Structure 1
Amino acid sequence: MRVIICGGGVIGACTAYFLRRHGVDVVVVERTEVAAAASGKAGGFLARDWCAGTPLDALARRSFALHAQLSGQIAGDWGYRPMTAYSGFVASDGDPRRDAPCALGWLANGVVVAQRIGTTETTAIVHPRKFTSAVMNAALAQGAELRVGRVTSIVRDADGTTTKGVEIDGNVIEADAVVIAMGPWSLLAAQWMTLPAVYGQRSPSIVYETGTNVPADALFLEYEGDDGAVSIEVFPRADGSTHITALSDIAPLPIDPAAVTPDTGAIARLQAMSERLSPLFRPEKIIAQQACFRPVTQDGLPLIGRVPRSDGLYVATGHNVWGILNAPATGEALAQLIAEGAARDVDLSPFDPARLEPLDPSLLQAH
């Protein structure tokens, strides 16, 4: 059996890895490079039970456990480490707590830590680009193939119901099954198949070099600015960098992932907020100013499973803020579905692509 995976992000990498463990021949097709988009620029925060009470709960718990297992099974260092998470807020000018020392010594006065919301048993972090690359390299070491190219269509049999492969830059590659795992760019595949809409939500971020000065404390803070409250997230990583993000917005999705750029105004605001949080976040310590587009669906749940009315065609996208967390369990479940006919560890029915209305392909052609 041969499977083509369209997309070299974290979902594609994990799917390739688990398919190879089933002995399935795998070809990954990536337009630019592995982890080129959100899989390389996300925060990498992991939480075991933050999806409790939602359809994502079982997927998240399974995937959180897989992250811990993979850190001991796959070669490479991608900065997996358990961490503590806190919620809180930044006291505004005029607030009596503005000059009060923070309970966490590395933060500035007036940063109020309200409560602990994650422990080293329930929260962790990875460096997303390093994780994605390590998993992809593990798949390649097991015999998977990586090709750089742009998927231009799905190849079907004469009656149009069975998938036979893909066309890449004009060349046909045959396969028994095809997986669409292109993040928000999975939207482009609606030209060739029955697929619900996938949107891109842009998230700017700044990465600082902080060395050993910042402990493994993730922060989820409310920041009261001139134009209202803003949620800001701070993720210290094992490699001595700290990822800070806020101010997500809806923006046009570039056709080419390499063309994604942050909004300069959002970056300036984020930098000002970061400098308020800690003296460690100084301009000369900035490693990267960037943005990524998270894939989101109409109901907020991912699309994982068979594409309706298309034998041998599968999709895995729309994971929103939990893409890095839920990639291992998504890849594992999809590999089981393709190789064995059903997912064993996670019920994929809440993520069935058929639950949502398909996008009208003419809307894409018009743009």
Structure 2
Amino acid sequence: MRVVICGGGVIGACTAYFLSRRGVDVVVVERTEVAAAASGKAGGFLALDWCAGTPLDALARRSFVLHTQLPHEVAGNWAYRRMTAYGGFVAGDDALRGTPSALDWLSSGVVIAHRLGTTDTTAIVHPRKFTSAMMNAALAQGAELRRGRVTGIARDADGTTAKGVETDGGVIEADGVVIAIGPWSLLATQWMRLPAVYGQRSPSIVYDTGRDVPADALFLEYEQSSGAISIEVFPRADGSTLITAFSDVAPLPVDPATVTPDQDAIERLQAIAERLSPLFRADRIIARQACFRPLTRDGLPLIGRVPNCEGLYVATGHNVWGILNAPATGEAFAELITEGAARSVDLTPFDPARLPPLDPSLLRAR
């Protein structure tokens, strides 16, 4: 059995790993590089129970467990570590600005109001290193990585069964095709009937903080005259700390390699970071960047068979939980493709058929 996976991000890499572990002949097609988009520029935060009470709960819990197991099964160091998560705010009035923070690495006036997670329930990975390690593990198991741009789906004579993909280098024949290209799955609506997938741009700054910042993830509200802004701080075990805020809606470029942050957003984010801690100095900045996170209309991912075409599958729309939920998505896909049904997680809530497909003419009109 041969399966072509379109996309070398974290979803594609994990799907390639679990499929190749089952002996499936896997070909991954990636137009730029592994982890080129959000899979390389996200925070990498993991949470066991933050999706409790939602359809994502079982997927998240299974994936959190897999994240704890994979460091013992897959070669490489992707800076996995347990951490504590805190919520709070940055004091806006003068009465509180001089108040010492409960965490000694933060500036005065950064108020920690509550603990959101413990080392039993929250953790982190370096997303690019994790994605690369999973892809390398798939390649070591016999998978193949090809550079190229997918331009369509190859089908049988009556158009009801996928027989591979059309690329700018020719046709790659296969028994199954997985579309896992994040927000760029929007382009795939030209080749198949898929619900709309949107991209939300998230700027971030990465600092080289070494061992100065402990394993404390922060979710803070920063008061401004225009309203509160949510700031997220993710210290990683490799000595880097990512800070993100100011997500916005922007046109999705055709090429992921051309994604750039809004300069004004980066400047505001840097000013806020310097307010949070003296450790976030300009001379410690490693990267000023942005990525697009894939979103669907109802906020749930699309994971499963594409309606009206045998052998065609999609996995996208994971939003902020892409790094967390990638292992369980890949595991469930491997079961679905090789056994006909997913056993580890119920994929019913994520069935692509639950949402109406996007009219391709609307995409052409844009």
Which stretch of the first structure deviates more once superposed, 293-302 or 85-94?
85-94
Could you tell me which amino acid in structure 1 is paired with residue 50 of structure 2? W
Which deviations, in whole Å up to 9, do the C-alpha atoms of 1:52-84 show, x marking residues without a partner? 000000000000000010011101000000000
8 Å CA contact 2:305–2:312 kept in 1: the answer is yes
Could you tell me which amino acid in structure 2 is paired with residue 221 of structure 1? L
Could you tell me which amino acid in structure 1 is paired with residue 355 of structure 2? L
8 Å CA contact 1:55–1:350 kept in 2: the answer is yes
Which deviations, in whole Å up to 9, do the C-alpha atoms of 1:91-116 show, x marking residues without a partner? 0143x111011010000000000011
Aligned-pair CA distance for 1:141:
0.4
Map residues 24-43 of structure 1 onto 2, 5 A cutoff. Answer: 24-43=24-43
What secondary structure sits across from 1:249 in the alignment?
coil
The reply to whether residue 105 of structure 1 matches residue 100 of structure 2 is no
Could you tell me which amino acid in structure 1 is paired with residue 87 of structure 2? S
Map residues 210-221 of structure 1 onto 2, 5 A cutoff. Answer: 210-221=209-220
Work out the CA distance in 2 between the residues paired with 1:320 and 1:342.
24
1:63 corresponds in structure 2 to 63
Work out the CA distance in 2 between the residues paired with 1:230 and 1:74.
38
Could you tell me which amino acid in structure 1 is paired with residue 327 of structure 2? P
Could you tell me which amino acid in structure 1 is paired with residue 3 of structure 2? V
Work out the CA distance in 2 between the residues paired with 1:161 and 1:335.
22
Could you tell me which amino acid in structure 2 is paired with residue 78 of structure 1? W
Work out the CA distance in 1 between the residues paired with 2:34 and 2:91.
41
1:261 corresponds in structure 2 to 260
Aligned-pair CA distance for 1:170:
4.7
Which deviations, in whole Å up to 9, do the C-alpha atoms of 1:204-247 show, x marking residues without a partner? 00000111110000000000023210000000000111000001
Structure 1 unaligned segments of length 5 or more: list them.
none
1:125 corresponds in structure 2 to 124
2:287 corresponds in structure 1 to 288
8 Å CA contact 1:152–1:170 kept in 2: the answer is no
Work out the CA distance in 2 between the residues paired with 1:159 and 1:240.
55
Structure 2 unaligned segments of length 5 or more: list them.
none
2:185 corresponds in structure 1 to 186
Work out the CA distance in 1 between the residues paired with 2:286 and 2:334.
36
8 Å CA contact 2:183–2:198 kept in 1: the answer is yes
Moved over 2 A (4+): none
Work out the CA distance in 2 between the residues paired with 1:101 and 1:54.
37
Work out the CA distance in 1 between the residues paired with 2:136 and 2:145.
10
The reply to whether residue 244 of structure 1 matches residue 243 of structure 2 is yes
Task: State the identity as a percent.
Answer: 80
Work out the CA distance in 2 between the residues paired with 1:218 and 1:337.
35
Which deviations, in whole Å up to 9, do the C-alpha atoms of 1:155-212 show, x marking residues without a partner? 0001000000001105011000000000000111100101000000000000001111
2:317 corresponds in structure 1 to 318
8 Å CA contact 1:307–1:314 kept in 2: the answer is yes
Work out the CA distance in 2 between the residues paired with 1:353 and 1:174.
24
Work out the CA distance in 2 between the residues paired with 1:93 and 1:43.
30
Could you tell me which amino acid in structure 1 is paired with residue 117 of structure 2? G
8 Å CA contact 1:190–1:359 kept in 2: the answer is yes
Work out the CA distance in 2 between the residues paired with 1:226 and 1:208.
27
8 Å CA contact 2:294–2:317 kept in 1: the answer is yes
What secondary structure sits across from 2:221 in the alignment?
strand
The reply to whether residue 334 of structure 1 matches residue 352 of structure 2 is no
Work out the CA distance in 2 between the residues paired with 1:166 and 1:103.
55
The number of residues matched between the two structures is: 366
Aligned-pair CA distance for 1:366:
2.2
8 Å CA contact 2:148–2:169 kept in 1: the answer is no
Work out the CA distance in 1 between the residues paired with 2:317 and 2:333.
14
Work out the CA distance in 2 between the residues paired with 1:173 and 1:86.
48
Could you tell me which amino acid in structure 2 is paired with residue 122 of structure 1? T
Could you tell me which amino acid in structure 1 is paired with residue 258 of structure 2? A
8 Å CA contact 1:29–1:149 kept in 2: the answer is yes
8 Å CA contact 1:162–1:310 kept in 2: the answer is yes
1:162 corresponds in structure 2 to 161
1:357 corresponds in structure 2 to 356
TM-score when normalising by structure 2: 0.99
Work out the CA distance in 2 between the residues paired with 1:233 and 1:266.
14
Work out the CA distance in 2 between the residues paired with 1:160 and 1:119.
51
Work out the CA distance in 2 between the residues paired with 1:245 and 1:122.
22
Work out the CA distance in 2 between the residues paired with 1:347 and 1:56.
10
TM-score when normalising by structure 1: 0.99
Q: CA RMSD in A?
A: 0.6
